[in-house]
Chain A
Amino acid sequence: MEKEILKSRTDDSCIHVKHPSGLDIYICEMEGFSTVEALFGTKYGSVNTMFKTKADKEYTTVPEGIAHFLEHKLFENEDCDVFDLYAKTGANANAFTSFDKTCYLFSCSKNYKESLAILLDFVQKPYFTPESVAKEQGIIGQEIKMCDDNPNWRVFFNLLNCLYHNHPVKIDIAGTVESIAEIDSDLLYKCYNTFYNLNNMVLSIAGNIKADEVLEICDKYLKPCEDKGLETVFPDEPDSIVKNEIVENQPVGNPLFNIGYKCTPENGYERLKATVKADLAGSLLADSSSEFYQRLISDGIINSSFDFECFCGDGYFSLIFSGEVKNPFRVRDEILAEFERIKSEGIDENLFRNIKKLSYGKLIRELNNVEEVANIMINSHMDGVSPYAEAEILAEVTSGDVLDFIKTELLPEKLAISVVKNGENE
């Protein structure tokens, strides 16, 4: 068993173990905390619709939404519901599927060893029947309808459909009522056996735990897996965007907007570097200490809902501004003009220095929270970087690096806007 201690420049540390079963395990003992957060995840999300292993000749294409469907179904054991098992430990259990991962998790402050055993055991024991698949189609169909009523969800996916021609990131994580109707138990087993291989998975656990105890439970419950040489592929994605605006009507208050720049996708450490630069670039506009923010909020063009995120993964990277305002198109024009101004006039060094300090403070805060730490460890592993790499990059990044990013990545022709507004008010 390979074991290494990872340390941060802020005096935090965790243990990384490459378990003989093939699983990567991250453990962070956090003194003084009572809770435990554990995530057992696979690098399998909604974007992984085309794949093969070294034993396969051809790529398999699966229906949209199947990763999420699989997550729902795994909660049913052959003899009981997994929630019934957790009920006996008191843990709060859940799961989620994102674009690039599926995670099963629990949080608790008592009986963590028993809950960890349940987690490791049930995720390795799939049980699907045609009847249970049919029942789940109904439940997930209702979830899809519920998400369709969420304007924040709609405005986001509409933007992704403006930015991406072919990449499956533009498809709803849960799929559609039609796509999930194609799912059957054989397909679920095919996906399970491909992606739920311990060589493609991570366990991340933080809080009031002891590393030795965690590893002892892992030794007992993890079944060694052969690395099947998993390959996932994505359709070719042009650099250009599909269209620069989309508007949808829904019963909402103020119009909601997402304004996004499509940027060059990166991998591993380079992606993290680009993320840090994109975050700082976004803060130059969206942080309340910027002259830009002060002017827009004073003129009533934005309100305190104005925010941004860097959204990235395998084959996609974008910087997205969001909010709820009377005139989203005016906000788009202002963002465009401000980045063009920065390209010609440069970055205000005072503003940049304070934003870096803000980011440094945020990183330390995150590492003081059990749930955040467990999430940071699993996310960073799946992104191919150390949990503490962001602090290193942040310490070294300069305003020149950020200006280069703005000049090369935030291009007017790669900007799109998505709006959800109330058609009845027109």
Chain B
Amino acid sequence: MTYERIRLAENIGLSEIIDSKFKTGVLEIDFITPLSSEKASQNASAICSINMTNSKYPSITEFSSKLNSLYGSNIFSKVNRISDFQINSIGASWLDSKYALEGEDIETETVKILLDCIFSPDIKDNAFNQNVFEIAKKDIQAKIDSEINNKRGYAVRQASKIAFRGEPAENNSYGTSETLKEVTSESAYSALQNLVINSQIEISYVSAQKNDKIRKILSDVFGKLKRNGNTYKFISFSPIKPSPEEFTETLDVNQSKMVLVFKTKKDDKYAMKMLSALYGETPFSKLFANVREKMSLCYYCSSSFSRAKNCIFVDCGVETKNIETARNAIIGQLDEIISGNFSDEDMQNVLLALENSFSGIGDTAGSYINWYKSAVYEGEYLTPEQTLEKYRNVTRDRIIECAKSLVLDTVYVMKSKEE
């Protein structure tokens, strides 16, 4: 495997990963911009309007037929939130050209189609093709509407909104139904142009073999852009509320959900991650072993650490009658860690789990991309082995100090109507 990071232009970085074991290739282009309630829907509509057609293939049927003829090459868009930023991504994946039955250059053809989607979309009078734009807009509306379908995810998002109120991170990456209504095919196209000129652009390319043709195409296209792009800092600790904010929502559900958000001012990301793993990220963690297994209070009860906002989320599914008991038990398990009630063996087991997960990075294109993107976002370019060394150096005392520093900031409860 080889990894190379290249600067294509002002604030445009290319991470090139070549690994001969792959039978497929991926190119992903992220347009990164501060998340705002005003622009979220505009940007999302822009990025979702360019993955179905381009000026060379202006109908969905022609566009998809061409991709299918390339053995199922795929062009995709996605919109995510990382910290206070909106990541608007468009990408392509394809089968390595050596598997083409009729000698097609699958990789080059697919990359050209993708770049045409961005730089030569199907537009008329400075607006996206109305039909395609409407499809994208309805799709985004459906995504906003269906947030509630996944009750666990919905509960975590509601807790995030409360925990990050007043920060860009409180916004939905797609915006709201209200902001989406304001978007027109003209304004969405204008948003695309704005993203190309003003966003930070991160490109990830994974392929089985080095292909100078691809790097030249990318350099030519992105190198000639006149840019005003910024380079952003992704780490932005969320301020701690003076007292915990509690919010209960009643829904027609069978199982209640509870999300607790703990924040800290302590800046020790490796110890915080170890703490979260010990607390609730593994089957041998305090929350799983005690709150779920021993006390049978929750079907699921786990924690996760957000480095960018420096907080720990705990979420669980619980019977309504047990909400208060579960809350006390969850906080009680944190107190156990504060009291030092975990063994060196527990820490060793966390390290083993991390080592196992880091050693597997590179078995899929997606895992490479995520690893190197995280490095960009965190501004720290370490190999998995170097990162593991940082974890090995974490001491019990650092974990205990992190646990002591946590402050309960937000409690969200989704309560069942029935009970």
A interface residues, Cβ below 8 angstroms from B: 10, 30-35, 81, 83-84, 86-93, 107-111, 135, 138-139, 142-143, 145-146, 148-152, 207, 250-254, 256, 287-291, 293-294, 297-298, 300, 303-305, 324-325, 350-351, 354-355, 357-362, 364-365, 367-370
Contact = CB atoms under 8 A, between A and B. Distances in A.
Given A33-B363, A251-B252, 19 more contacts: A30-B21, A84-B284, A87-B353, A90-B349, A109-B360, A111-B356, A146-B255, A252-B149, A253-B144, A253-B147, A287-B68, A289-B65, A289-B67, A294-B59, A298-B135, A324-B142, A354-B68, A368-B21, A370-B363
Interface of B: 19-24, 52, 59-61, 63-65, 67-73, 95, 99, 101, 131, 134-135, 138-139, 142, 144-151, 251-255, 282-284, 288-289, 292-293, 296, 298-300, 317-319, 349, 351-357, 359-364
12 contacts: A109-B356, A110-B355, A139-B299, A287-B68, A288-B52, A289-B64, A324-B145, A358-B68, A359-B72, A360-B71, A361-B73, A362-B72
Nearest to A32: B21
B255 A253 contact: no
A370 B21 CA distance: 12
Given A138-B296, A252-B148, A298-B131, A32 B19 contact: yes
A40 to B, nearest CB: 18
B349 A303 contact: no
Contacts of A107: 360
Nearest to B254: A145
Contact of A300 (B23, B69, B138): B138
Contacts of B148: 251-253
Contacts of A151: 149
B363 A357 contact: no
A111 B148 CA distance: 41
Instruction: Label chain A's interface by main secondary structure.
Output: mixed
A294 B132 CA distance: 10
A171 B114 CA distance: 45
B60 A34 contact: no
Given A146-B317, A365-B23, A354 B356 contact: no
B254 A253 contact: no
A256 B72 contact: no
Given A254-B146, A357-B69, A142 B363 contact: no
Given A252-B146, A303-B135, A297 B359 contact: no
A365 B296 contact: no
A87 B282 contact: yes
A214 B332 CA distance: 43
B65 A350 contact: yes
Contacts of B139: 303-304
B21 A33 contact: yes
Contact of A254 (B131, B142, B282, B364): B142
Contacts of A143: 299
Contacts of A32: 19-21
Residue from the set B52, B142, B253, B282 with the largest chain A CB neighbour count within 10 Å: B142
B357 A92 contact: yes
A340 to B, nearest CB: 21
Contacts of B351: 90
A287 B72 CA distance: 11
Contacts of B352: 87-90, 110-111
Which one of B146, B354, B356 has the greatest number of beta carbons of chain A within 10 Å? B356
Contacts of A350: 65
Contacts of A30: 21
A34 B359 contact: yes
A129 B193 CA distance: 66
A91 B354 CA distance: 10
A92 B252 contact: no
A365 B142 contact: no
A30 B68 CA distance: 28
B209 to A, nearest CB: 13
A9 B32 CA distance: 43
Contact of B296 (A31, A35, A139): A139
